[in-house]
Structure 1
Amino acid sequence: MTSSADTAMPALLDDFLAYTLAGHRPAGDAREGLCANGVRWTWVDDGALQFEPATPSGATVRSVLASAGIHGDETAPIELLSFLVRDIARGHAALACRLLVILGNVQAMRESCRYIDDDLNRLFSGRHAQLPGSHEAPRATALERIAARFFADAPDEPGGRWHIDMHTAIRASVFEQFALLPHTGAPLSRAMFEWLRDARIAAVLLHTTKGNTYSHFTAEACGADACTLELGKVRPFGKNDLTRFEGADAALRQLLAGERGDDSLALPRVFTVIDQITKQSDSFELLFDRDVANFTVFGRDTVLARDGDYRYVVRHDEERIVFPNAAVKPGLRAGLLVVETTAETHSVLS
């Protein structure tokens, strides 16, 4: 390893977040190197680092993509990943698998906003091609390419490919930390549910239609066991109480180290999406308090939204609202409706 790599590695690995926010890009001869325990690191792109463990030749290892900052103002998981990079580099965190760390919407992170032009987490699976003038479109293209290249070298067997995409929510939630699983038609993974249990995730939301999120892209296009984690509320950099995220952080580190979790814990509760409220025009209204928490319960016949002649009326005895947001652009989702399906989901895990 050259002296230039020696000088670049501490700044890049010891504070990956600060290095990325500053807009630094390592020189060509300083884009890879070795750190503690023989782990090889490679700077892939702005906000993207890859690690390869020192394993015997021919050994099969799991491949894990850990991402955060797909929304630039969701800072706590970004900080967690930066600390993870530092701890791997120093030998304080074990690495028994391939790892790709991605900080998603870097420019929005720098400007302390959710996104510049368009929600990056609605532009994957090719939707970026519909918005070629958007600031986020090239980043979505790049993140798809980086993930596809990483998983192309990953094993095909079940459990060999993982993607943990970490977020924080805009609003409070009945379940402070919950997960969303993309819909691909593949059987639900018991290993994923057990990992979510170890991460102290209280609830899992199952999508029933295809989406344009990063986790949906990696699940469908790359064959990964993928999830989106909602770990708390949006706060500025440096203002997070990271002890509130210890469960997810510890579970991610266990996954990377190849360690088993605690089988005595209960699996998370499960909720399945049964409908979506879509904003059709600027006349759209949500007919409940603006600060209502995610997973708030509404009873049959409650009118939740209106938009001209359109009404959304609760059809089940009990439906819960998730991600209500009347401020989205027309044509986008303004809320999801879910019902509990815990028993039936747990019974079919494979």
Structure 2
Amino acid sequence: MHDFLQQTLSGEAPRQRCGETPWLRWQWHDHGILQLDPLSDPRQALVLSAGIHGNETAPVEIMNSLIGALLRGEMALRHRVLAILGNPAALRANKRYLRHDVNRLFGGRWQQIDDCDEARRALRLEQAIEAFWLQGCKEDQPRWHLDLHTAIRGSWHTRFGVLPLNPQPWPDAFLHWLAAAGLEALVYHTAPGGTFTHFSCATFNAASCTLELGKALPFGANDLTQFAAAQQALTALLSGAPLPAPQQTPRRYRVVQQITRLSERFKLHMDAETRNFTAFPQGTLLAEDGETQYVVQQARECVLFPNPGVALGLRAGLMLVEEGAPAEALPR
């Protein structure tokens, strides 16, 4: 098996489900779930995921290229890796999801919806990373989870990372890698959620991050040169080569409120062209849902992931405050 993506999209298991190269052993666990173990002693354990949303294809193409190089023996591997293509059915359809957003179903939230392919997929992914980290990892071995995405909207920061709620300090090596991957900003969650990265951090104490690397486009429409920094950092991470030097220190944002779509009366007071990290002054009415109003509470707050079309009860946007910067430094 030399093409992880095409094998996954075929809906069929490969004839050979495990194998070995000069650098590693590989094992196909399920559609879109492939484990790679170096023949030498691993330095850490890494979950690398993409395609949790089926219309975010550039990270899938990048990951498939890296996995292909590893399977062909063209690149060394220094860590245990669980490679995941999150929602194969949505990838085939080039849709964000078919019935439910998988990235809102982790931490057992899949039990709160009807029995469907995406509920079963969220459970399967939970089981896969639990087995990966608990059955083959040494206790002192670092655990990282990088979940690769692209954003629906344009953004004042083209590449940014979203870090889940974590009561522990983030490892310096992890933050350094995120900077080396070309991230312009880091967003720090202040509440738990149903994302894949929150599940891996909260349940397995993994250093995890959702990486938003550009604009969501269909297969074949991506200019992968725009993702060069992330691809180079991933190549260095997997092979154990020196990381490229960070070009900048990512700006830091903290989530201060969440906009939730509670009913069919929900109205978001932002147009479809509003970019991520657009700033609004104190007192601005952001959204309303019947008698519930969402208003900017701080001197300035920046919006992230505004989306009025989410299902009832889900997040329609996050509001952020930049840490350590004067108000006039915020994007407008």
Indicate whether the TM-score tops 0.5.
yes
Which residue of structure 2 aligns with residue 335 of structure 1?
Answer: 317
Q: 2:6 aligns with which of 4, 13, 18?
A: 18
1:62: how far off?
A: 0.8
Q: Which runs of 5+ in 2 are unaligned?
A: 326-332
2-side partners of 1:248 and 1:283: how far apart?
A: 40
Question: Does residue 70 of structure 2 align to residue 84 of structure 1?
Answer: no
Question: Does residue 137 of structure 2 align to residue 154 of structure 1?
Answer: yes
Which residue of structure 2 aligns with residue 41 of structure 1?
Answer: 26
Superposition RMSD on alpha carbons, in Å?
1.4
- Pair 1:83–1:342, CA change in 2 (3 A): farther
Q: 1:50 aligns with which of 35, 46, 50?
A: 35
Contact 1:73 1:109 in 2 (8 A): yes
Which amino acid counterpart does residue 195 of structure 2 have in structure 1? T
Which amino acid counterpart does residue 311 of structure 1 have in structure 2? Q
Contact 2:23 2:76 in 1 (8 A): no
- Pair 1:60–1:25, CA change in 2 (3 A): closer
2-side partners of 1:184 and 1:325: how far apart?
A: 25
TM-score, length-scaled by structure 1: 0.89
1:306: how far off?
A: 1.1
Spell out the pairing of 1:197-346 with structure 2 (5 A cutoff). 197-262=179-244, 265-342=247-324
1:342: how far off?
A: 4.6
Contact 1:206 1:272 in 2 (8 A): yes
1-side partners of 2:299 and 2:292: how far apart?
A: 21
Which residue of structure 2 aligns with residue 64 of structure 1?
Answer: 46
Deviations 1:269-328 (A, max 9, x none): 110000001111111111122210000010111111111111111111110000000011
Spell out the pairing of 1:67-216 with structure 2 (5 A cutoff). 67-152=49-134, 153-157=136-140, 160-216=142-198
2-side partners of 1:342 and 1:139: how far apart?
A: 40
Contact 2:49 2:148 in 1 (8 A): yes
1:209: how far off?
A: 0.6
2-side partners of 1:317 and 1:341: how far apart?
A: 13
Contact 1:60 1:155 in 2 (8 A): no
2-side partners of 1:196 and 1:118: how far apart?
A: 29
TM-score, length-scaled by structure 2: 0.94
Q: Which runs of 5+ in 1 are unaligned?
A: 1-11, 344-350
Contact 2:50 2:59 in 1 (8 A): yes
Q: Which moved more, 1:310-319 or 1:200-209?
A: 310-319
Question: How many positions carry a matched residue from both structures?
Answer: 324
Which residue of structure 2 aligns with residue 6 of structure 1?
Answer: none
